[in-house]
Structure 1
Amino acid sequence: MEQWKKNLIVLWFGQFLVMAGMTMVIPFLSLYLQFDLGLTDKHEIGIWAGVIFAGNFVTSFIFQPIWGKLADRYGRKMMLLRSGFGMAIVMALMGFATNPWHLLLLRMLNGTISGFNPASVALISATTPKNRMGFAMGTIQSGGIAGTILGPFMGGLLADTIGFRPIFYLTGALLFAASLLALFVVKEPFDRVKAAARIQASVIEGFRRLSRIPELTSLFAVTFLIQFAMMSPMTLMPLYVQELHGTTANLAFFAGFVGSVTGLSNLIASPLLGRLSDRVGAERVLGVALIGAALAFIPQAFAGTVWQLLLARFVLGIFLGGLIPAVNALIRKYTPDGMESRAYSFNSSTLGLGNMVGPITGGALSGWIGIQGLFIVSAVMLLVNAAWVWQSLLRKRPINIKGRAGE
């Protein structure tokens, strides 16, 4: 088997375990705070659960660019192993928490040392043949999506069978095993001498240099808006499902189904659309997927039944399956040599920013426009972004971006 395929298989499982570990706590976090950490007031539990869950994303947003800079200097595999083994230890320590502050600080530490996903994507982009880039990006994306979908399900199942604390120990052990597998199987042809010879810009200067490339700024905007559009109505979705369903019978099942159906279609479509982008070009797939995703938000605002909402969100997931792989492939294409990891880290930060800003903005706007209005806002924003992408990527540009490496 070719080495790039070995890398892809191992890092697919790594992505799956990292995202499953991040989302596995969702079903039982409030219960863990109540039964194991001694909180009794429901309002207090709700506040702590929200802060603890968000703490990981806050520190991750801040530190991702720093790890990206170090990855360009010392290699993506080193940063991948640093993050994998570090998160394995921190995850296991969460099982020893005795009060909410311990859990919050550990979640923030976990976000600080995270970076497995952008390092994986950067390593795959550096080792995969150009004519298979779309397929590889779609496949690696499907690993993260699968972990995001199955993580809460596995967390809820394990909480009922082995209890809360052992889940953290098990997740830490699985992350350690995935990192160990990456240590021995994954290989990266990284030239440290050549990397050391390059002038290493600061994080701020690196951001300024990359932000001068219009193609990259439009791609970062795509990543932010995808997450913003997905997360802004998410906290209100169970109430919307209840409104459409009209009864409490099987309400939890339908709410969970609506939440996961987009991920399921995304999981199926990502490798297929990634392979298509290898044939027709990632720019074209990105443009069509952006317009399709924008249009798929509109029928969600006018759904009359839960099944209509489910169908619209399934279609949305198909188009989302073409967005992230295309974005990752194009970031590699337009990033100057030697700054690939930094570009992927900035992209990961914009994703985290969407995760933070989306629910806050959605909750604030819902009082005026309702969840239906949020769907329309998301559609409009994605259509505007599609026009931006057309202007910066799909029109013929006279300058080769790789020629800007010395800027």
Structure 2
Amino acid sequence: MVEKRLPIWQRNLRVLAIAVFIAGIAFSEVMPFLPLYINTLGHFSHQQLNMWAGLVFSGIYFVSAFVSPWWGKLADQKGRKLMILRASLGMAIVLAAMGLVTNVWQLFILRMTQGFFAGFVSNSNALIATETPKEKSGQALGTMASSFTAGNLLGPFIGGALASLFSYRVTFFITGLLLLIAFFLALFFVHEDDFEPVTNKKLESSRGVVATLKNPRLIFGLLLTTLIIQAANNSINPIVSLYVSQLMHHQGNVVFVSGVIAALPGIATFLAASRFGAIGDRIGTQKVIIAGFTGAIILFFLTAFVQNSFELGILRFLIGFTDACLFPQVQTLLTKNTPAMITGRIFSWNQSAMYIGNIFGPLLGSTIAGVSSYSMVFIITAGIVTLNLLLFKLNVVNSLD
């Protein structure tokens, strides 16, 4: 009996789910030790180290925030597969080069260069969103989100282990190799046979794209939600390993513990993302998002008062459940309210909003840590999430009613 050949969208989904899983590992495995790597590139005071940690974390996003809409426009005109290949190959080279730097300025410049090639995951999602039948889009995008989250889950643990076994520099070389594997997977196994380039002159301008939207207020409300979600989450990233070091009184294997704690939110998100997506389909995605905001506010506030790394790990694990309620569900609402012919552009705008949040988040967190304390970072982050909840109700929930 001859096995029935899977539809092309399902075949692409399987390949790209593996590719974004690998990319998730590559993007996240350097994060636990990045501030510690910076500390090996010079002699820095506490305030200088926090400043450079914020700049290096944000460097990739300064460039990406501006170039993503251009890449999104090209994706709609030339194809999403081409953008996937461009992003994976470029970042493979740049990430490997980070293992060769001799000072913090070189690392910062390479992070910005990485930003120019960014867009692997967003273009993978756009390709899947445009090729998948509408009634299957939530499930397909949920699979992509779970795969990327699983990669992010393993990445910090793998990165911490590799840095402990080998060195920071070798870990960057391995990261570049992983992205090269993702490049070849997309090159040989992803097919975009049904792609129809957008030729409508009206859609060459942002104003034309906005005019095509049935509910622009909803879309822009979701973009703002993405921006603030990312700002809040990334305000924590530059100081996690430093916070762990403080809680451990600068003793023990700080790199490994930091990697484990950084991985814990991903475990919860991976376990819960698809389930929360299914719940959202039944009761309304916006209700799941509101629940996520509420939980995040409580957990961020409590994290400011932990006494040891074990308590920090528990709360970071729980914050992963709130993450599962937020960004994947925002993408679901965007997909269901965006015409297919401008999906690449809208996804790129969402990517830019994410990058802008990634710029301000680490800078905010490192600045607060430098002038106050690590605990204050979590308190202010709780306040930012509260603001996001209020804006989401005003701009999105009211538009859906």
Q: Give the structure-1-normalised TM-score.
A: 0.80
> Mapping of 1:8-407 within 5 angstroms?
8-26=13-31, 41-42=43-44, 51-94=55-98, 103-159=107-163, 167-188=171-192, 190-192=194-196, 195-202=198-205, 213-238=216-241, 240-241=243-244, 248=251, 254-303=257-306, 306-366=309-369, 370-395=373-398, 397=400
CA contact (8 A) 1:61 1:349 kept: yes
Q: In the superposition, relative to structure 1, how do residues 168 and 364 fare at CA in structure 2: closer, same or farther (>3 Å)? A: closer
Cα deviation for residue 352 of structure 1 reads 1.7
Sequence identity (%)? 35
- Which stretch shows the higher mean deviation, 144-153 or 342-351? 144-153
Tell whether the 8 Å contact from 1:135 to 1:272 is kept in structure 2 after alignment. Answer: no
The letter for the 1-side match of 2:26 is G
- Give the unaligned 5+ runs of structure 2: 1-5
- How far 1:265 sits from its partner (Å)? 1.0
> Which amino acid in 2 is paired with 1:58?
F
Mapped to 2, the partners of 1:27 and 1:300 lie a distance apart of: 18
Distance 1:151 1:387, change over 3 A: same
Mapped partners of 1:238, 1:21: distance in 2: 18
Q: Distance in 2 between matches of 1:346 and 1:284?
A: 24
User: More deviation in 139-148 or 387-396?
Assistant: 387-396
| Separation in 2, partners of 1:198, 1:113 | 26
Greater shift, 148-157 or 179-188, is seen at 148-157
Q: Alpha-carbon deviation of 1:222? A: 2.0
Question: For 2:281, what is the secondary structure of its paired residue?
Answer: helix
Structure 2 match to 1:401 = none
Cα RMSD (Å) of the superposition? 3.7
Q: Could you tell me whether the CA contact under 8 Å between 1:136 and 1:274 is conserved in 2?
A: no
Contact 1:132/1:275, CA 8 A, preserved across alignment: no
> Could you tell me whether the CA contact under 8 Å between 2:210 and 2:216 is conserved in 1?
no
User: Paired residue for 1:404?
Assistant: none
Residues 57-109 of structure 1 show CA distances to partners (whole Å, capped at 9, x for unaligned) of: 22122211110111112222221122223333444455566776655444333
Q: CA–CA distance in 2 between the matches of 1:229 and 1:49? A: 16
The alignment covers a number of residue pairs equal to 394
- Structure 1 pair 208/372, CA: closer, same or farther in 2 (3 Å)? farther
Structure 1 position 317, deviation (Å) = 0.8
- Whole-angstrom CA distance in 2 between matches of 1:312 and 1:232: 16
Which piece of structure 1 moves more, 181-190 or 225-234? 181-190
Distance across 1 between alignment mates of 2:255 and 2:162: 19
> How far is the alpha carbon of 1:295 from its aligned partner?
2.9
Are the equivalent residues in 1 in contact too, given 2:54–2:366 (CA < 8 A)? Answer: no
> How far apart are the structure 2 equivalents of 1:102 and 1:344?
31
Aligned pair in 2 of structure 1 residues 196, 24: CA closer, same or farther (>3 Å)?
Answer: same
RCO higher in structure (CA 8 A, sep ≥6): 2
CA distance in 1, matches of 2:110, 2:259: 28
Query: Match of 2:204, SS?
Result: coil
Unpaired stretches in structure 1, ≥5 consecutive residues: 399-407
| Residues 76 and 120, structure 1, Cα contact 8 Å, conserved in 2 | yes
Q: Name 1:4's counterpart in structure 2.
A: 9
2:367 and 2:28 map into 1 onto residues whose CA distance is 24
